[in-house]
Structure 1
Amino acid sequence: MAVVLRYVDKLGFVKERFVGLVHVMETNTLSLKAAIDKLFACHSLSIGRVRGQGYDGASNMSIKLVKLIDEALKSYQLEGFDSLLEDVTSFCDKYDIEVVDMEAEYVDPKYQRKKTGITNRHHYVVNNFNTILDMQIQEHGNRFNEVNTILLTSMSSLSPSCNFSAFSKVNLLMLAEMYPCDFDEKERLVYELGHYITNVKEDKRFANLSGLGDLAKMMVKTR
């Protein structure tokens, strides 16, 4: 596992620094956190000061990509078998391979004399095609669970693109709830977020910014 830190320096410039490589036996959350903790300790760093996973203007694209993949997998599960069957049939015809009759009764190779009561199509759709797609959808959901999706959505709300069109006070309050040690006064934060968005939208210096890096530099420059 490669570990890279992304941070904003005193001048507001976004920096990225390679910290090191860590060998991990497992990729579950606890194992990864323990490995990162150990690496950080070697450099006198604290994982408690890390915020998120290095999001920038690309977070909007990441959210759209996650949703598109999820929708594509579910759509393919509902409608993709026939197109797959056409491709397989075309391949078999090209190389003179016998094609299974999808409407014939499925014969279990382990119990060939026993009636299954289902067609080949039912077997390949339900027991194979849908099962594999279910596994892929579940794996995708595990990788982009609710917490990760909230992080992506919340961080994208800070994007200054298109005059802060993605700004969402609700999303940023959800993000703040993940860091209670840093944001312990919700009412004050609600007020400050409202004050912040009003100021940056009215200040021409904040117009035409393209990402969090540009926003960080401008905030340092105008503080």
Structure 2
Amino acid sequence: MNDQNIVNAMALVKVSKQRLQTIRDDGWSLLVDEVSLFYDKYNITVPKMDDIFVSQGRSRRKAQKISNLHHFQVEIFYQVVDRQLQELNNRFIEVNTELLLCIACLNPRHSFLAFDKEKLIQLAQFYPLEFSSTQLLALDSQLENFILDVRSDDQFSNLNGIGALSQKLVETRKNIVYPLVFLLLKLALVFPVATASVERTFSAMNIIKSRLRNRMGDEFLNDCLVTYIERETFDCIDNEKIQSFQNMKSRRMEF
């Protein structure tokens, strides 16, 4: 995992939210000007914004009494921007963002330049079942000793990522000296994998269990999800092997 990229990614998410909010507040006039230039260039009639909007397929009598301005600005422009903002807010809630920033403090590059003891203690507080109040006090002391130890040890000078850091701790048996720090590392390594796996599974489920296959059983759904999610692995298997496996007789245990 490229830990520094996490910090950059979170910064870009924040910038994206600010840009979208700016577009929502001040971008309508600029969009109208650009669209008007496009209409003029190709001789397209520009709709009058004060006229009543009539959707296709409906008569003017049955049309909802809203102006073109309201339809294009409120019902389309604002809704599109609001949905994008909502998607970012749902995916990058404050807790998840803070979690990722805390994990980045374990980055060993440049002599542990990103190390921040307070943020790492905050990271441990996100896992109350793993770290009791007594263990949090012990973690504070371990972090103090840990950073002095690894910064003075040449074996930790050229590490790249927290995965390499955890391996080096095991090789030097410092995982036994700093068990709580090592536990933090393990939780940090598991977090992005678990999150990505859940995201991939739910995305795949929307594809596999479609409206036409909504009565699919759990076992068959699970089999389909495995083959879809791990399709790169299954692509490497010859069709002949799949056919021979399919022709194998089922073997049931005799009681």
TM over 0.5: yes
Aligned to 2:136: 186
Residue 209 of structure 1: SS of its match in structure 2? coil
* Bigger helix fraction: 2
**Native 8 Å contact 2:107 2:162 kept in 1:** yes
1:210 corresponds to which of 146, 160, 185: 160
Q: Label 1:112 to 1:95 Cα distance change in 2 as closer, same or farther (>3 A).
A: farther
Higher RCO (C-alpha under 8 Å, 6+ residues apart): 1
Question: Aligned partners of 2:102 and 2:143: how far apart in 1?
Answer: 13
**Matching residue within 142, 150, 156 for 2:90:** 142
Match of 1:74 among 21, 41, 45: 21
- Quick check: which one's strand share is greater? 1
Shift, 1:127, TM fit? 4.1
1:222 Cα deviation after fit: 2.6
When the two chains are superposed, the root-mean-square deviation of aligned CA atoms in Å is: 2.9
The verdict on how the C-alpha distance between 1:154 and 1:75 changes in structure 2, with shifts beyond 3 A counting, is: same
Q: Answer yes or no: is the 8 Å Cα contact 1:106–1:123 preserved in 2.
A: no
Question: Structure 2: how far apart are the matches of 1:143 and 1:114?
Answer: 35
Give the distance between the partners of 2:122 and 2:37, measured in 1 at CA.
51
- Once the two structures are superposed, residues 91-142 of structure 1 have per-residue CA deviations (whole angstroms, 9 ceiling, x without a partner) of 212321112345xx342436799986xx755654344322321222112101
1:109-124 alignment to 2 at 5 Å? Answer: 109=54, 121=69, 124=72
Tell me, yes or no, if the aligned pair for 1:62 and 1:152 is still in contact at 8 Å. Answer: no
Aligned AA (2:37): S
Give the Å deviation of 1:147.
2.5
Structure-2 separation of matches of 1:135 and 1:163: 42
Matched positions, count:
166
**What amino acid sits opposite 1:192 in the alignment?**
Q
- Displacement of 1:71 in angstroms is 2.1
Instruction: Map 1:1-80; keep pairs closer than 5 Å.
Output: 56-80=3-27
1:1-46 per-position Cα deviation (integer Å, ceiling 9, x unaligned)? xxxxxxxxxxxxxxxxxxxxxxxxxxxxxxxxxxxxxxxxxxxxxx
Pick the structure with greater CA Rg: 2
CA distance in 2, matches of 1:146, 1:212: 23
Q: Please state how far the C-alpha of 1:56 moved relative to its aligned partner.
A: 4.3
Deviations 1:36-73 (A, max 9, x none): xxxxxxxxxxxxxxxxxx77454223322322322222
Identical amino acids, percent of aligned pairs: 36
SS in 1 for 2:137: helix
Structure 2 unpaired stretches of 5+ = 55-59, 174-255
Describe the shift of the 1:182–1:83 C-alpha distance in structure 2 as closer, same or farther (beyond 3 A).
same
Q: Which runs of 5+ in 1 are unaligned?
A: 1-53
**Cα separation, partners in 2 of 1:92 and 1:189, compared to 1, 3 Å:** same
Write the distance in 2 (CA, Å) between the matches of 1:186 and 1:111: 69
Cα 1:149–1:203 change in 2 (3 A) is same
Q: Distance in 2 between matches of 1:188 and 1:111?
A: 74
Q: Would the alpha carbon gap of residues 126 and 115 (structure 1) be closer, same or farther in structure 2, given more than 3 Å must change?
A: closer
Give the CA deviation at 1:152: 0.9
Is 1:160–1:212's contact at 8 Å kept on the other side of the alignment? yes
